[in-house]
Amino acid sequence: TIKVYTDEDANPDLVRGKPVAIIGYGSQGRAHAMNLKDSGCEVIVGLRDGSSTAAKARADGLTVMPVAEAAKAASLVALLTPDMSHEAIFASEIAPNLEQGDAILVAHGFTVLYERIQPAAGIDVILVAPKGPGDLVRREYERGAGVPCLFAVRQDATGEARDRALAYASLIGGTTAGALETSFREETETDLFGEQAVLCGGATELVAAGFDTLVNAGYQPEIAYYECLHELKLIVDLLYEGGFEKMHEFVSETAIYGDLVSGPRVINDETRARMKDVLTDIQDGTFARNWIAENEAGKKKYDEMQAADLSHPIEATGKELRGLMAWLQSDEKTSREAA
């Protein structure tokens, strides 16, 4: 079985002793910066000119500098801007300011695996990927816990790359919850597959298809919404807490029988073959090439597909119903950008 690394396995002083640059102050960037600061690190936030997030970083009590200056001042540079921005930022602002023995850290392996950035031989290249959105990484740290994370080494120039990754993981709370070792390839390919086939792509299409089936058969959209979207949370919570077994304990016997006979009619060998296609596109680089090309073309198709997705009738029904559910108003944004 896989080893779970905990606080005892980490030597935080390896990272705590020297300035850390956090490039980007969004979902992950803010959480990492704040947790590192509260763990006793000297943190410098690197942002571009006119950055809309700089004011927030300053209000949080952090030092903000241009990306190049932050990279120059630090011995570990965490690149926490969107994946598609890494290539340009790294080439122009970061690479020229790295010294022998510095480390570059990412929270997702895409840029490194697909060779969008290629740090020089003297630089440690490491990954620390929390398995949760940034605000959870911050909230869990604040209550003395943490979000589990993965760590990996791509290039060990100093002989301490692995210990540096573990140290960083511990400083953001990752080893309190438990850290697992992986490779850049495994983290990237499984993360992309998970969000495409199951978490974001698979789950929303399953919900939409269930909703459409009921509405097209003449049922009221509001009732279909409750059955196909709203109640999904209850089921996911049970799965999260105790797997299939716990879900079976809490749903009716009729629901279990229906699950057993009808689940495999919906998700079947054909679905598995499609999932394998999705995985193959990730493994052979087709997905990465398409996504990079889409960005280079100005994301026109991305915008069109997103607009179509958000104009599905379940969205209008959901907005109306959620407006009537007082208890939902406060935490609607908590699980945004989870993948």
Q: Residue with structure tokens 């816990």?
A: 145
3-class secondary-structure state, position 309: helix
235 binds Mg ion (CB under 5 A): no
Q: Which of 10, 15, 28, 104 binds ligand NDP (CB under 6 A)?
A: 28
What whole-number distance in Å separates Cα of residue 33 and Cα of residue 138? 9
Q: Please, which residues have CB within 8 angstroms of residue 60's CB and are 6 or more apart in sequence?
A: 30, 33, 34
Catalytic residue among 108, 230, 248, 312: 108
Site membership for ligand NDP, residue 107 (CB under 6 A):
yes
Given the rule CB under 6 A, which of 128-136, 165-173, 220-228, 256-264 is the region that contacts ligand NDP?
A: 128-136
Give residues 318-337 in contact with ligand NDP (rule: CB under 6 A): 337
Minimum distance, C-beta of residue 80 to ligand NDP, in the bound complex (Å): 5
Query: Kind and range of the H or E element at 79?
Result: strand 76-79
Element (H, E) at 69: helix 67-73
Q: Binding to ligand NDP by residue 173, rule CB under 6 A?
A: no
Considering beta carbons, is residue 153 or 314 the nearer one to ligand NDP? 153
Task: Tokens for 322, please give them.
Answer: 């959620």
- Give dist(CA 323, CA 119) in Å, integer: 49
Nearer to ligand NDP by Cβ, of 24 and 202: the residue is 24
Select from 17, 40, 82, 264 the one that contacts ligand NDP (CB under 6 A): 82
Cα–Cα distance for residue pair 246/240, rounded to 1 Å: 9
Q: Which of 96, 263, 285, 323 binds Mg ion (CB under 5 A)?
A: 263
* 86 carries an active-site annotation: no
Partner whose footprint covers residue 27, from ligand NDP, Mg ion, none (CB < 5 to 8 Å by kind):
ligand NDP
Residue nearest to ligand NDP (CB): 26
Residue 79 CB partners (closer than 8 Å, separation 6+): 23, 24, 86, 89, 90, 94, 104, 105, 106, 111, 117
Rounded to whole angstroms, how far apart are CA atoms 213 and 314? 12
Question: Which does residue 70 touch among Mg ion, ligand NDP, none (CB within 5 to 8 A, set by kind)?
Answer: none
Q: Out of 16, 18, 48, 248, which residue is the one contacting ligand NDP (CB under 6 A)? A: 48
Please select the residue that binds ligand NDP; options are 18, 19, 26, 321, rule is CB under 6 A: 26
- Tell me which stretch binds ligand NDP (CB under 6 A): 12-20, 106-114, 219-227, 301-309: 106-114
Q: Of 214, 150, 210, give the one whose Cα is nearest residue 183.
A: 150
From ligand NDP, Mg ion, none, which one binds at residue 263 (CB under 5 to 8 Å depending on kind)? Mg ion
Give long-range contacts, CB 8 A cutoff, 24+ apart: 81-86. Answer: 81/23, 81/24, 81/26, 81/29, 82/24, 82/26, 83/108, 83/110, 83/111, 84/291, 84/292, 84/295, 86/111, 86/116, 86/117
108 interacts with ligand NDP by CB under 6 A: yes
Q: Which window, 43-51, 120-128, 151-159, 260-268, contacts ligand NDP (CB under 6 A)? A: 43-51
Binding of ligand NDP at residue 148 (CB under 6 A)?
no
Residue 79, beta-bridge partner list: 23, 106
Catalytically active residues, by annotation: 108
Residue ranges binding ligand NDP (CB under 6 A)? 24-29, 47-48, 51-53, 80-83, 85, 89, 106-108, 129-130, 133-134, 337-338
